[in-house]
Amino acid sequence: MKDIVGKRFIIAGMTIDVISEDGERYVTRNITTSETVYMEKRVLENAIKLGEADEFK
């Protein structure tokens, strides 16, 4: 998958910024609550492929 670090996505009602990669996870920041969220890479990448996560522009 293309590099998604530094991009913003809307997924499951959250707007998240992808901060960095950490092994098999992405470190993201939930914009609404300012919390750090760790997401499995495959979960976020599959959501993007299936159209369940949209890039926020």
In this structure, is residue 44 part of a structural domain?
Answer: yes
In this structure, is residue 1 part of a structural domain?
Answer: no
Number of structural domains, the chain? 1
Residue 19 pLDDT exceeds 70? yes
Residue 41: which H helix or E strand, with range? helix 41-49
In this structure, is residue 53 part of a structural domain?
Answer: no
In this structure, is residue 25 part of a structural domain?
Answer: yes
pLDDT (mean) for 13-25 = 94
Look over the chain and give the mean of its residue pLDDT values, rounded to a whole number.
92
Q: 19 with 10: CB under 8 angstroms? A: no
pTM: 0.83
Domain containing 36: what range? 8-48
In this structure, is residue 57 part of a structural domain?
Answer: no
In this structure, is residue 20 part of a structural domain?
Answer: yes
In this structure, is residue 56 part of a structural domain?
Answer: no
In this structure, is residue 54 part of a structural domain?
Answer: no
Look up residue 8 and give its two tokens.
């913003």
